[in-house]
Amino acid sequence: MKKIKFNKLISLFLLVVISMFIYNINLIYANNINKNIQITAHRGSSIFYPDNTFASIDEAILENTDYVEIDLRITKDNQVVVFHDNNLKRVDNSNLKIEDMTLEEVKKIDNGSYKNKLFSEEKIPTLEELLKRYKNKVKFNFHLKVRDKDRVLPKEVSKLIDKYDMNSDVIITCSKKEIIENYKKENPKSKTGLIVGKNIEKIENVNCDLISIKYDLLSIELVQKLHKNNKEVHVWTINNIDKISHAIDLNVDNIITNDVILAKGILNYKSNK
């Protein structure tokens, strides 16, 4: 009986030692700040500017962002436009959807007054207009807003990126695994990422270059696992000091935020401590 108790004590002791070792290794990893973390402006500088507009992108560039995250949709006549929502409710109180409108109809929409009357001249840009305007000025994370089996949007996006020779300045992301893996297969030189907001099971096996993950799912174990599988970790969308600081401590590769100035400030402070 005494031997059994002794063996249990030994096992408990070893469990504590191993747990402390793992904890300390993780702590060392977490405190080794990655000074190359990049910052992405979520839909441009979207706190005071209407998102996904030239005004918000211009401001994000002034804020010295590394990337601008932009949402892409396809019109009824297969034109790629820059717009986030499924319908126009937030912008002009309409239930119309981009996919049910022609580009000519889309271009008539006031895409700025909902934020402030100062932006009443803002229109919904096309991807081609965006690429022409910002080539060699900033890098982009293009979020494909697609239906499950939509092949038109990815194809048209790929054609335009090739046309303007911007593969090295662009990341293609999507929340649909099949779409992003197919894009990577057809465009092997493109940098691609899966957007994950719920299930993280086996995401390290997805055929892409990065995982763009919701902050609530972030952990040091996940970051380590993804890095071990040669995948970058991008985290979204965080706008306060504690969350940004925590993401930096976990050595993510890219922070997606509405507040580029805050994120840059925290990163500079922690990198120079």
What integer pLDDT is reported at residue 96 of this predicted model? 96
pLDDT of the residue at 8:
47
Please answer whether residues 115 and 50 qualify as being in contact, where contact means their C-beta atoms are separated by less than 8 angstroms. yes
At residue 16, the pLDDT reads 47
pTM of the model: 0.87
Mean pLDDT, consecutive 10-residue stretches, the chain (273 aa), reads 51 48 47 84 97 98 98 97 96 94 97 97 98 98 86 96 97 96 95 95 96 98 97 98 97 98 96 84
pLDDT in tens, 95-152: 999 999 999 999 999 999 999 999 999 999 999 999 999 999 999 999 999 976 678 9
Strands 67-74, 80-82: parallel, antiparallel or unpaired by DSSP?
A: antiparallel
Tell me the C-alpha distance between 8 and 14, whole Å.
10
Query: Looking at residue 85, what is its pLDDT?
Result: 97
Q: What pLDDT score does 34 carry?
A: 78
Measured CA to CA, the distance from residue 6 to residue 140 in angstroms comes to 61
Coil vs helix vs strand at 72: strand
Task: Please choose, from the candidates 205, 179, 168, 208, the residue with its C-alpha nearest in 3D space to the C-alpha of residue 192.
Answer: 208
